[in-house]
Structure 1
Amino acid sequence: MEDKKALIYACAKELFSAKGFKETNISEITKKSGMAVGTFYNYYSSKEKLFMDIFLEENAKLKQLCFQSLDLTQPPIKVIGQMLMLNVEGMKSNPILREWYNKSVFEKLEQVYREENGVDAVAFLYDNFLELIAYWQEQGKIRKDIDGKMIMMVFAAVINVDTHKEEIGIEYFPELLNLMTELIMKGLDCSE
């Protein structure tokens, strides 16, 4: 049974990577995997659920890769700046993660995720870095009077700004992200 689910997952990942979320349909996924459409529904309730599972796995891999690339001996402002840059570059280079920037697609996917995991479930945006924030707070490197989860939501908001480039003005990017990060980190800094 798990082999069938893994095959559906692998075929869907390949199709989503090549064609994108909107252009891939369930019948293509099942045809590629050599299974009937009904078999798909034994494992996934919808194309959105399958895509979100793939997205979350790819996102977790990217966050882990980014985290491993960081020089944690640097001041928090440099680490966060580097992290945001690595994250944006990684998302843009991965066709699955690039769907984050397709507003109509990601709004639908986020809705599916929140319905399944709860309204406040956004841990996939920051899960690995909460410990780092707590460590910096303990070390007196960043403010302790702001909850670590709230700090992570501030960083999630910075990442989300990138999805609104056209509305804000594409000519302001990536300088806008760099400036926002710098200003936020100066506001969190305890070293001065």
Structure 2
Amino acid sequence: MLSELVSFAALGFQHIVAIDAFDHILFLLVLAAIYRGRDWRQVLWVISAFTIGHSITLALAVTNVLVLPPRLVEFLIPLTIVATGIENIVQRSRAAQGTFSRHRVLFAAGFGLVHGAGFAGYLRSLFLDSIAVPLVGFNLGIEAGQIVVLAATAVLFRLVDGGLSVALPSRDPFPLRLTAVSLGVTVIATGWAWQRFPQ
């Protein structure tokens, strides 16, 4: 049982950090873009809400309690990225002052539901009999992968903010970095949504 748990945890980890999971990575990138290092408590709340959301849907989907058309899920995932990017831009003034809207936690939970459905199709194809161990292991792997992605993102944002501070010493680099990241990710995700529009 332990070896099976570890195997599925490794699969979950690989699934979140792999290049074909780029949409999930971009979502984490844009979700974290609105925060600075000092906002770690807010980040914890939002990521926890996202985790709860995708864990619920993952469990429901792999047990066939909730069955969503894969094409619809693949279309909805980039829409969550677009919505998050737009909200970042709308909220950038408040974020620069260190204040955040309460509904962001609810958005993260709701968007987690969508991303969980995306993980489920992959996981459902892997197990044959018992689902408990694969489900727990895969979810643990996803969480570990998310932590790695978010840690790398935090380092990247710190470096970008430092570089902008040197280049533009009279300006706060945060709003510029937030806007640039959010716009770039939103444009990419909009293209994906267009390509994946259900026919």
With the length of structure 1 as denominator, give the TM-score of the two structures.
0.32
More helix by share: 2
The one of the two structures with greater contact order (alpha-carbon pairs below 8 A, sep at least 6) is 2
Q: Mark the structure with the bigger radius of gyration.
A: 1
